[in-house]
Each structure stands twice: as C-alpha cells, then as structure tokens.
A and B are shown apart, each in its own frame.
Chain A
Amino acid sequence: MALAITGTQWINVTTVDVSFNGAVDPEVAGRPNAWSVAATAPAPAVTIYGTAVKTGGLTVAVRIGPAAIPGAAYTISCDIDGNTISVLTTATPTLPVIPSPEWTHGLLRSITGAFGEAVQRFNGKPQTLVCSPLKPGDTSMYVESTLGFPPVGSLILQGNRYTYGSVSPMAFKGIGTSSPQFLTVAPRALVSFDVRSHLPD
C-alpha cells in the first residue's frame, strides 16, 4: 500500500501534526529537507523548518515558520522514496495567535533597537542563526529568518563559504559549497551574508 497522508491537525500556528497511513522513516520524514509547504494566496509564504516523527512513525509534527495565518490554506508536501505526498490543509481558524515579544516595544527596547538598527545600517551585514541541523549534502539550510538577505548570494557559516540560489522565509535553497563539509552544523550557529562576494548585476 502506497504511503499516504490521512489527515492533519493544527496544534498551533507554528505546528501541525501530519498523519500517515503507515509508518514513515524517521531519517527521511524527520528532517525538514524532505518537506515543503506552499501557502495559498493571499497568505504569505512560510517554510517548514523542522519536523519530528512521533512514536510509532504514523504522525509527524511539522514546524512552520513564520506563523501560519489561521484560516489560510497550505499545501504541505513530503518527498519519501521519490514520491511526493501532498495534502491541502487549512489552519484552524480559531487558533490563537500569540503576540511575539518582538512586537512589545518597551521604551528601553525601542531606544536600543533604534541604535542597533542605525549601527547595523551604517556598517552591518545580514546575520541569522541555523535552526535545523545542516548535514553534509543538504541542499537547504534552515535559519531563523532570511529577511535582509538577497535572493541569491553567498553565506559564511563556521568559516565555510556557501552559495545559495533562492530563499524562502526561513531557508536558503540550492546550497552549494566549494569546501567539503564533513560535520553536521548544529542549530544556533551564526550565518552571515558574505557581503564582499555580492556583486551587482
């Protein structure tokens, strides 16, 4: 029997449980590289940046970021054994949206944030953190945010230079590197944009 998705259950705006009719391989379905998500317009694009196969292998907890829009429709796909399994799911309209602390503007936070932004604009560069392990051979790098990174460019991660060909909200796609990567990069590693290699046109 072919593996198929039997249902989805939205836990919150960043997590959805995807159920299968058979056990999935944790080594495949347990990594975000096998997954993709497409938001139905006008909902903004999101990225699946983390997955966890639950006990028994019949359910996978899929982490989506930035937060999904309650009531919006998303097509979640999983590539397993060369087959793409998709499901169209609507984020539960009643899901609570918890305000991000990023949007609570205390006075001191605002002032320091403004200074930081000014300094960053003056002589900074886009930086972010890896949020899902990056293994040798991965073609996608999942990060906290790709905001501020150009659509195509180069990254510096732990001394290695990576190129990427496209971005989604939380992932660099089409990762390539001229240096062999032997070790898995753990989450929270700093990713910097390689400004010097960024050429116009």
Chain B
Amino acid sequence: MLDPISQTESAYRDTLIAKAQGHGFDALARHYSFPRLASISRKYWRRALLALVFGHKGTLGTTFAVLEAIFDFFAEPRMVHRVSVDPAKPTALTHLDAFAVGGAPGWHCGHTGRFLRCLSPPYLDKLYYSEHLSEGKLYLSGVTTSYWTAADFSDADDEAILQFKILPFTFREPQPGPPWLDGTNDRGEPWHPIRQQLNLPGGDEGFRTADTARFEIFIDEFIWPLPATYLQADGTIDRTVAAPGQPYGGHIMDLVAAANDPAIPESGDPRGEGPHPIYFSSGTIGAEFFNALLDTILASGVWMDSVVFPWCDEPGANVFDPIFDLDATKDNEVNAGRLQMLPGFGDRAAQEHPWDFQNHGLPRNWDPDRDINNFPENGALTSANIGGLDGFTQVYAYDQHIYFFVSTRNYDLWNGFVFFPEPPRSSWPWGGMDMRDDADGIFSATSATTFDYTIDGDTTSFSWALSGELQPNGASAAGYTGTPVPGDGTLLNSWLTAPSSNPEHPTMYHMIRENGGQVWHPHFENFLERSILLDVTHNNENTFHRVGGHVPAGIRQVILGANQAPTVQVGYDNQALCWRVPRTQIVSWDQGLVQGENKTGATFRIADNQIFLPPGQGTGVLSETWHIIYNNAYAPLPAGALHDDNASAIYGGHAGMGLLPGRADVPSMDLIAEAFNDAGIP
C-alpha cells in the first residue's frame, strides 16, 4: 500500500473542508459557491473557505478573514519580515533583514498604509496599520480602531525580535449603506422603499450605484510580478541564457476552469511538460475575478469593486520578492503583471495598452468576419499594405494546404522562395550567404556588415531586435559579422555549401530550416512541378480572377532554364505563380498557420554569370551571384525588409498586417484548389 490514504478514507475526506485534497476539495469549494482560482493554492483557499463557511457571511470580519487567507498565498512567502522593537519608541518597527528589492534596504513607502499581522508572541495575531516612515523606522498607528489594534511595544523586551506579515491589500467602505430603509429621508419626510421608482423622474435614488453600500479592495499590483524575460517575443531568445532558472511559460489559462474542471490540467511539471500557466490580473486597473468571486460573499446590496495599483510611486517600491527564481546576475527585472488586452474588448486596460500588432502579430481570436467590414464579394486577396505594381507574395492557409502566391512583375528574375512563418530563431539567418559587391555598391561588404541601406533615397539602418524582426532604429548596428565570401560563380553553391560565418550548418538550406524557415527552389525539386499559373487583373494584381492551370511544360522549361541559372519569368503583368504544400508535409510549422492568417515570404534569385540590372534593362552577364528580391519594393517598407530603389531585399518578412480572409467561402480559393486537384498536385 503506497498511498497512506485508503479509498474509503479518501471518500470520507472529500466531505471535509479541512481534509479534502485535489479536485475533491475544489468540488467542495464549488458546492459552497466559492470556486477556487487556479492561481491560489489549495492550502490558502482552504483557509479562506473555512473562514467563509464557519464565519458570519456578509460581515466585515469574515470578509476580511477570507481576503487575508487568499492573499496569504502572496504574503506568507514574500512579505514576512523580521523586525525589532524599541520600548522607547513603542509604535516603531526596525527592519532587521537586508531587504533590498529596488536597492533600498529596510522600509520604504511601499510598506506604509498597509495592514500588518504580527506572527510572534506576545503580540501574536494582532493586526496593525502602518502609517509613515521616519529615520528608517516604520511607524504603526497608535490608535485602536474597529479595524486595527493600536501598536504599543512599550512592554516588549529590548532585544525582542518579532515577525510581521504585511498584507498586500487594504479596503475601504466609502458608502457604508445599506440603502435607505423604511423610515425618513434626509428631508425628514416619510420614506417607504416599496414606493420607489427606480430610474424614473422623481424616483428614489437610494438604490443607485453611487449611493449604495460599497466595498472597495485595493490590491498591490506587485503581487503579480512578471519577469521581463518570462514571455519571450519569439524563439530568438535563449531563456537559459537570458534568465536561467525562470519557469517555462507562459500558458494563459482560465483561472476558474483550470481549478474546477478535472479535464483541464492546472499545471504540468515545472521543468518538464506543461502547461506552465501564468496568471495575470485581468487588467491593469481591476481584478475582475476578485470582483466576481468576492461579490458572492458580501451582503446583498453591497457593491464590490477592486483596484489593482502600484502602492507608491517611489522607484523600486516593490515590497514583494520576486516569485520567480531568476539568476541574479541576469535580467531579473520584475515588472508588474500586465495582460495586454486583445482588440475589441474596449475596456480601459485595452485603451491604455492596445494590441501590439507589430510585435505580437494577429491575435488568436481574430475573426475576419467580425473585424473586416464590407469585405468585397469574391474575396480580393489583398492586404492593407500590399500595393503598387511591383508584385506581391502571399502565404495562405486553406483547406489543409498552405498556398504560396508570388507575382513579381517588375522583378521577374527570381528562382526561389524563402518563407519564415515566424521570425527566424537565430540572430541572422543570412549570415553565411555569399555577398559580393554589386556594381552600385548596394551589397558592398561594408554595407552588408552594418546593414546600412538607402531606401527610397533615405538612408536607414536596421538592427536585429529581440522580436526577431529587423527593426529600423535610426542608427547603424552590427548585424552580419561574417566575412562575405564571393561565390565561385559556377554552381548554385550558396545553398549547398556550409555558410561561411556559421559552418556548423551543413548548408545554407539547413540553416534556413533550422531557423524555422522553408526554401522552395528548383534545385530541391519541390517547386515548379507543383505550381500552377494564375491570371491576375491588371492594376488589381491581388485579385485572382482566373486560374491559368498547371504551368505548361514549355514555361517550366523556361523557368528551369537550360543551365544553372534558372529564372522564373512568370511575374508579368497578369500572372502569378502559385504552389501549395500539404500542411502535414511541413512538420515544423504545419500548425503554425491557421485560416485567416496571412504571411509573406521573399523571393530570391541565385544565378551564375549574371548581373542584375534595373527593370526593363535586361539581364546582365557579369559576376553577380545572387539576389534576394523583395517583391514589394515600392510599398511601405515592412519591418524585416531591406531594399533600395532598384531591387534588393533580404528576407521579406512582411510586417503583421497582411490580413487575409482564409475562409472557405472565397470562391477564387475554391477555383485555385480545384485547379491543383485537376493537375494532380497533392
């Protein structure tokens, strides 16, 4: 018998608040209409439930006991302090620990205006209230009220060392209520609630929100700290380097469901398989779940409100230790937990912190039917910042396939396509790419090293940002640090040889793949044979109004070329190349795209013995070995793209806003899929 608790005993215990465990306890809490929040451990919820069930519900004492029990979850591990007292200053506490959060040992403003519970005899369990600081001491209220006890340590031993727990909340009752009862109103006239006419002219106002009894809780926002490095923007940050010891995460879970639905795991192995939940306050200004829950324990008619706020404005005024064990030598800055609200929720938090599309992409709950108004019939496959005459690339999830559309009318010399569904995982996926000086110096070794480029006549610099995207920052920053090595001009060697700056990758192709990207190129036999041509409307190039069918053999021959410089020439005025890949064949990110998401890839060209010339000037014959062409050169430059007036661009990771309705009711997608099926392309 490896379990000390038998099944009979376990069943018996499931009926006892003090002994029930696991979901048995959660069920008990639900039955008492006080369901547990997953972020609070059962140890503390048990205390709260005991106080609630065996106390006088609706009274201040019980309410306070419940609150204290719940917030002990935060306070006991992190806000218990050793202090000494001086009989000569009977209301003062001297801090004994090297309390250094924020760099200021001892007390500071974050400790004032709080309830304190003494945990040591002879003042055990007495509740005090801290008033102010003076000469490094924390002074408690010396007056007894109905809320707290007067501090008086005049009879303490000189060397007494006490422990105090500081509560992370306080409360007030700005409207003591209850609403007027039968009697007289403030004018001395008889008043009977039965005659009230709520919200009608002349009606009684006693029941309006502003006039009824209110109970307000103020919660220190630092009880929900969030390490700055906890939620990495993407995979470019190695968490074992940035902040060793930090937990995995974070899975944002339903507070109540996680604790009360056995089908939903509360959490997984902290160092292994998840989920690894992290719970935030529901906004920066209100703890809505406390509102909803604690409202049930207040007396009928009492309005409940809770406010989450920084206790004082002094820098570093976080009196809580971090709950995460971060390496002190690393980035262990702790920020208050703030949940960035999704668009459309419209509350005050969302207004303060609108959704950051640039860094976070499409929100998961984005609904094209809701968020796009007046979407045109037949679904023009366009996006807000795809424009001009220079072509486009689109990546499109539809019916178990991922479709790639490329039209490069002005820059029609391309023969490959690179796509990163997410920002690359390493610092610079192109570090090993051969870079050879171009005639106009665009790809000079110097400029390539520092990422200085002239964009539409303006010199702009880019640096590698933590988000994984190239971000313009106004100043040059080192990025590519490898030594550009010219190609030998004989083979498509750039993709089949080890990157010069990162030789641990067998080939450039491997490096792209290991950075989460995908390459399509004739050399890999994954490209043209699986493509069809689409007709696009002139000047409205993003609308596929007719499917041209499978790429004819003659065109394929042109595309493939007779030598080792294949060039796709399908980007003319009314054509786009389209190919598709079953999601199941792209194991690395087949789940990463969902219908309704749109991303953009970049075309590139690897060619021998050619020189790139501006559009309309033909094809050169000199020594250029490669170009990566961004298709949207004249459109507003997206983050992640580098280009100049002519061509050029490395990595066309399109910035966020390519919103496309990947919906089954877009007729042209049906036609396109049908064309693939007819051509026998899986």
Closest Cβ of chain B to A45, distance in Å, is: 16
Q: Is A150 an interface residue (CB 8 A)?
A: yes
The answer to whether B42 touches A124, judged by C-beta atoms less than 8 angstroms apart, is: no
Closest Cβ of chain A to B640, distance in Å, is: 50
Stretch at the interface among A71-79, A96-104, A193-201: A193-201
Within 8 A of B (CB), among A154-195: 193, 195
**CB pairs A–B below 8 angstroms (15 shown):** A117-B1, A120-B6, A121-B3, A121-B7, A122-B8, A124-B6, A147-B2, A148-B1, A148-B4, A195-B4, A200-B19, A200-B21, A200-B25, A200-B42, A200-B46
> Which of B2, B6, B20, B43 touches A125 (beta carbons < 8 Å)?
B6
Q: Which residues of A contact B (CB under 8 A)?
A: 117, 120-126, 147-150, 153, 193, 195, 198-201
The answer to whether A198 touches B5, judged by C-beta atoms less than 8 angstroms apart, is: yes
For B6, what are the chain A residues with a Cβ–Cβ distance below 8 Å?
120-125, 195
For B43, what are the chain A residues with a Cβ–Cβ distance below 8 Å?
200-201
The answer to whether B8 touches A123, judged by C-beta atoms less than 8 angstroms apart, is: yes
For B9, what are the chain A residues with a Cβ–Cβ distance below 8 Å?
123, 125, 195
- A149 and B5 CA atoms in complex are apart in Å by 10
For B25, what are the chain A residues with a Cβ–Cβ distance below 8 Å?
200
Closest Cβ of chain B to A155, distance in Å, is: 11
Closest Cβ of chain B to A174, distance in Å, is: 17
For A121, what are the chain B residues with a Cβ–Cβ distance below 8 Å?
1, 3, 6-7
Closest Cβ of chain B to A201, distance in Å, is: 4
The answer to whether B4 touches A201, judged by C-beta atoms less than 8 angstroms apart, is: no
Q: Is B635 an interface residue (CB 8 A)?
A: no
Closest Cβ of chain A to B7, distance in Å, is: 5
- A148 and B25 CA atoms in complex are apart in Å by 23
Closest Cβ of chain A to B19, distance in Å, is: 6
For A195, what are the chain B residues with a Cβ–Cβ distance below 8 Å?
4-6, 9
Residue of B nearest to A120 (CB): B1
Contact with A along B363-400 (1 / 0, CB 8 A): 00000000000000000000000000000000000000
Q: Is B18 an interface residue (CB 8 A)?
A: yes
The answer to whether B7 touches A122, judged by C-beta atoms less than 8 angstroms apart, is: yes
Q: Which residues of B contact A (CB under 8 A)?
A: 1-9, 18-21, 25, 41-43, 46
For A148, what are the chain B residues with a Cβ–Cβ distance below 8 Å?
1-4
Closest Cβ of chain A to B398, distance in Å, is: 52
- A124 and B4 CA atoms in complex are apart in Å by 8
For B46, what are the chain A residues with a Cβ–Cβ distance below 8 Å?
200-201
The answer to whether A150 touches B1, judged by C-beta atoms less than 8 angstroms apart, is: no
6 closest cross-chain pairs (CB), A and B: A201-B43, A123-B8, A120-B1, A148-B1, A200-B21, A148-B2
Closest Cβ of chain B to A143, distance in Å, is: 14
Knowing A122-B6, A122-B8, A125-B6, the reply to whether A199 touches B1 (Cβ < 8 A) is no
- A117 and B3 CA atoms in complex are apart in Å by 11
- A126 and B3 CA atoms in complex are apart in Å by 8
Given contacts A195-B4, A199-B18, 16 further A-B contacts (CB under 8 A): A120-B1, A120-B6, A123-B6, A123-B9, A124-B6, A148-B3, A149-B4, A150-B4, A193-B4, A195-B5, A195-B9, A198-B4, A199-B19, A200-B42, A201-B41, A201-B42
For A124, what are the chain B residues with a Cβ–Cβ distance below 8 Å?
1, 6
- A117 and B2 CA atoms in complex are apart in Å by 10
> Considering residues B4, B7, B42, B46, which has the most beta carbons from chain A within 10 angstroms of its beta carbon?
B4
For B42, what are the chain A residues with a Cβ–Cβ distance below 8 Å?
200-201
- A200 and B1 CA atoms in complex are apart in Å by 19
- A195 and B9 CA atoms in complex are apart in Å by 8
- A195 and B12 CA atoms in complex are apart in Å by 12
Residue of B nearest to A198 (CB): B4
Closest Cβ of chain A to B73, distance in Å, is: 12
- A195 and B3 CA atoms in complex are apart in Å by 11
The answer to whether B8 touches A126, judged by C-beta atoms less than 8 angstroms apart, is: no
Residue of B nearest to A196 (CB): B9
Closest Cβ of chain A to B418, distance in Å, is: 48
Residue of A nearest to B5 (CB): A195
Closest Cβ of chain A to B4, distance in Å, is: 5
Knowing A121-B7, A195-B9, A201-B46, the reply to whether A126 touches B1 (Cβ < 8 A) is yes
> Considering residues A150, A193, A201, which has the most beta carbons from chain B within 10 angstroms of its beta carbon?
A201
Residue of A nearest to B41 (CB): A201
For B7, what are the chain A residues with a Cβ–Cβ distance below 8 Å?
121-123
The answer to whether B4 touches A125, judged by C-beta atoms less than 8 angstroms apart, is: yes
For A117, what are the chain B residues with a Cβ–Cβ distance below 8 Å?
1
- A153 and B20 CA atoms in complex are apart in Å by 17
For B21, what are the chain A residues with a Cβ–Cβ distance below 8 Å?
200
Residue of B nearest to A194 (CB): B4
Closest Cβ of chain A to B482, distance in Å, is: 45
